[in-house]
Chain A
């Protein structure tokens, strides 16, 4: 179980970081979401993985599962959700104000695309 969870966290972090570095708003938002999923699973696991046991002391015989990480994860999920919502609004605002979806607000001049890009720019004007 631990192996599966750690592989899942690793894959989520890797894809999250990759998307975060794409420098386009939508992939970046997706990347941050994946990263926060990974973080949530990680926080959950930080209380050790115990299957089929209740987070209640005294009511049942051991083993118990640790309830605190579950509370932490809930908080982190709520905060992450709010932040993602705000980020989406800000991304739409940036698209409206700056006219493109690059995180720097300006289209980078790629060497191979420069000629085509300039052409497209001229056509747009």
Chain B
């Protein structure tokens, strides 16, 4: 038997965690204690077995790219700050931005610009502190929050029971107007749902993937929906189905 009170000491000795004096003391004990020496040998055997049999893991390249992508996002606010310093530049940038919006709303091919805006909105929401204006998993807290901020009251659901919990809501400015953004979660993924009242003859459904984000678009008689996430497409579609079912269940007959 090992001296049980010495096991922690022996481990610490092996890990190079003992102070010099303690190490010397233990070594002189080891010299005359075969049990403790056997214990130490078994630990050394374990260590070499771990080294030999457990290969080092490498982060997958996809993960590496995703994390690099996060890092690029934080540079954006810095860019905005420098724009703010050069006021004239900022005016030019803002003018151009508005032009882009107008085109987005006016033209038939404006969907392109809208997709870009939806993705930008999603990316911006992932920056620290931007995700929600009203963080709540309670649809009866989130829905009334939009009162007085928008000229419509967006339908808000909670799909926590289906694994898509409501995380909150915020105001967005997309397609040239203020719109509601609802935030849902799926494991570690964030889904942003942007919606506003449908124009007459609103566009049908579309799916796009850009910069690693999936964007789903659909319209009900009442609302135009955009859902964006880095979640896999199959689950994002399932989420779309949940929203559509909830909408048709809530629709007046």
Mutual binders A and B: no
- Which residues of B does A touch, CB under 8 Å? none
A interface residues, Cβ below 8 angstroms from B? none
